[in-house]
Structure 1
Amino acid sequence: MSAALDLAIEGIGLCAPGLPDWTVAAAALRGTGHHVDEPAAAIPKVTLLSPNEQRRAPQSVLLAAAAAEQACRMAGRAPCELPNVFASSYGDLAINDYLCAVLARAPRELSPTKFHNSVHNAPAGYWTIAAGCTASSTALSAGRATFAAGLLETATIACAEATPVLCVAVDVAASGPLAGMIDCDAAFAVALVLAPPAGAHARRLRLQLRDGDAAQLAPLPAALHALRERNPAAVGLPLLAALARREPATFDFALHDDKDLPPSTLHLEIAF
């Protein structure tokens, strides 16, 4: 068991088809609103991105940037000042499918813009350039444990450097042959601004590493439970549900699924 990391949750953002922002998502998570999956739903405008960037950016970037902008606005923090962690299990699967198909069929027809957007840290790159952010930026992946790994990295930076940090988790649906191999068929992005606690902040989060298997997560409304199973970035929905309901709660998230290693868990406690 490790020492605990104590943080304040200053800002929350969420963007997914049918869940354009935290206000709508919070109502659905409390059971006072409904989540209707709308794959063709428009992504909210990201004010930090210029019209040209908004047009060129792939879905993964737009979702991540929209969620990040919401979280920064709620926190009252300038995006240009925040170190940031962008976590994605798979990157942009639609672009990966495009690249594989074009390289197999007609390599010379490959779009330079598509190639530029295919790198795993594309959301972090778009964000830092648009925000004019020169603080540290991290892009990471840890399979199904990516959401937990992103939270742990964010909390470590926030506590070690005594500074607020932006955490974003995003994944988008697989397409083409990849859709038959990868367990992700929905788009989802969530963002949190975590900071060292100061004063009587309304939302507190304690993180601690523990040995052993993760305990079962709390149930969700049926539609949101399905979404959690369809996107690795959405595994944190039970945590978000507790935040929406303002309910103290505890959660366990597995930090890996390697059967050859002893199980390890990120244990979270929320207080208000």
Structure 2
Amino acid sequence: MKLNACIESIGLIGPGLPDWPHAADILAGHAPYVSERTVLPPPAALPSAERRRTGPVVRTALAVGHEAVAASGRDATTLASVFAASGGDGQNCHAICEMLAGDDRQLSPTRFHNSVHNAPAGYWSIAARARATSNVLCAYDGSFAAGLLESLCQVAVDGVPSLLVAYDTEYPEPLHTVRPIADAFGVALVLAPLAADGTPPHGLAHIEAKLTDAPATTLAAPELEALRASNPAARALPLLEAIAARRAASVVIDYLPETRVRIDLSFGDTPTERTS
């Protein structure tokens, strides 16, 4: 079984990367990259009570999810989804640990339900009124690749479009010392089955994924490479760079310690070239 799909649209947010159109210009070399703190928009689609309870991890996931779905023109209520992150809400986890280490250990229900790993998927179902299948997974630094494989399996097996949302946010000290994620980064892809007759995709790119032991693809720009290495969700950047430049290529994404994911990209009839 081939794991392939058409990438119809992208959502992105990160340090100095406010959305996919701006990020695409930077990744394609049309604009300089200036690293700035990630500015997370409030999740306007949520009711006010839920909106007040959200932290950075939920705001990151919802921002890129909404951008990708809006760009695809698909109905979010019927779109299957995969949410992938290496951890949960680091700031909320820090607050819970502080509370449990003190004398007053009365944990609020909001703190508790925001601490679970599938909280962003739950908030997405409320914000987007999504009722389709939703899977949530974690694979440490390989979480983006694991999420991509899961989404591609949905597309291949079920023959339906799939929304992939990958995200990670910073941890306060002392957790930051052992998990030094400095800022929020999120990326979302709407993936769809290829046409049955094999005609070129009408979306941004056609991708096919397979496992490999080749080293992960790095970025030439030092600032962007530092970002790629510093946030698990940003491991998607080599793939996004090739899409932004409309460059047929094979890129390798971090996955397991001894195994990575090779992604072959093509654009219509453009031949694929290997890059690393």
Whether TM exceeds 0.5 here: the answer is yes
User: Which residue does the alignment assign to 1:34?
Assistant: 32
1:157 to 154, 157, 165: 154
The separation in 1 between residues aligned to 2:167 and 2:106, in whole angstroms, is 28
* CA displacement, residues 141-185 of structure 1 (integer Å, 9 cap, x when unaligned): 011111110000000011100000000110001112111111312
User: Which residue does the alignment assign to 1:206?
Assistant: 208
* CA displacement, residues 71-112 of structure 1 (integer Å, 9 cap, x when unaligned): 111111111111100000011111111111111013435332
User: Is the 8 Å Cα contact of residues 159 and 196 (structure 1) preserved in structure 2?
Assistant: yes
Shift of 1:227: 1.0
User: Which residue does the alignment assign to 2:166?
Assistant: 169
User: Which residue does the alignment assign to 2:228?
Assistant: 228
The separation in 2 between residues aligned to 1:63 and 1:134, in whole angstroms, is 21
User: Is the 8 Å Cα contact of residues 20 and 44 (structure 1) preserved in structure 2?
Assistant: no
Mean alpha-carbon deviation: is it higher for 28-37 or for 155-164? 28-37
* CA displacement, residues 14-58 of structure 1 (integer Å, 9 cap, x when unaligned): 01242221011111111222333332x532344422343333211
User: Which residue does the alignment assign to 1:260?
Assistant: none
User: Is the 8 Å Cα contact of residues 235 and 254 (structure 2) preserved in structure 1?
Assistant: no
User: Is the 8 Å Cα contact of residues 48 and 130 (structure 1) preserved in structure 2?
Assistant: yes
The separation in 2 between residues aligned to 1:139 and 1:92, in whole angstroms, is 14
User: Is the 8 Å Cα contact of residues 68 and 191 (structure 1) preserved in structure 2?
Assistant: yes
- After superposing on structure 2, the runs of 4+ consecutive aligned residues of structure 1 that deviate more than 4 Å are none
User: Is the 8 Å Cα contact of residues 46 and 126 (structure 2) preserved in structure 1?
Assistant: no
Q: Return 5+ residue gaps in structure 2 as ranges.
A: 268-276
User: Is the 8 Å Cα contact of residues 145 and 261 (structure 2) preserved in structure 1?
Assistant: yes
Mean alpha-carbon deviation: is it higher for 219-228 or for 105-114? 105-114
User: Which residue does the alignment assign to 2:261?
Assistant: 266
Alignment coverage as a number of residue pairs: 262
User: Which residue does the alignment assign to 1:12?
Assistant: 10
State the TM-score, normalized to the length of structure 1: 0.90
Percent of pairs identical after alignment? 41
Q: Measured at CA, do residues 264 and 216 of structure 1 come closer, stay the same or move farther in structure 2, by a change above 3 Å?
A: closer
User: Which residue does the alignment assign to 1:188?
Assistant: 185
Q: Return 5+ residue gaps in structure 1 as ranges.
A: 258-262
Q: Measured at CA, do residues 224 and 244 of structure 1 come closer, stay the same or move farther in structure 2, by a change above 3 Å?
A: same
User: Which residue does the alignment assign to 2:270?
Assistant: none
Shift of 1:126: 0.2
Q: Secondary structure at the match of 1:44?
A: coil
Q: Secondary structure at the match of 2:264?
A: strand
The separation in 1 between residues aligned to 2:225 and 2:6, in whole angstroms, is 26
Q: Secondary structure at the match of 1:108?
A: coil
Q: Secondary structure at the match of 2:261?
A: strand
The separation in 2 between residues aligned to 1:106 and 1:247, in whole angstroms, is 58
The separation in 2 between residues aligned to 1:5 and 1:148, in whole angstroms, is 13
Paired letter, 2:241: A
User: Which residue does the alignment assign to 1:22?
Assistant: 20
User: Is the 8 Å Cα contact of residues 146 and 232 (structure 1) preserved in structure 2?
Assistant: yes
User: Which residue does the alignment assign to 1:108?
Assistant: 105
Q: CA RMSD in A?
A: 1.7
User: Is the 8 Å Cα contact of residues 218 and 225 (structure 2) preserved in structure 1?
Assistant: no
Q: Secondary structure at the match of 1:168?
A: strand
Paired letter, 2:265: I
Matched, 1:135 2:135: no
Mean alpha-carbon deviation: is it higher for 134-143 or for 101-110? 101-110
The separation in 2 between residues aligned to 1:97 and 1:218, in whole angstroms, is 32
The separation in 1 between residues aligned to 2:263 and 2:55, in whole angstroms, is 32
The separation in 1 between residues aligned to 2:254 and 2:129, in whole angstroms, is 34
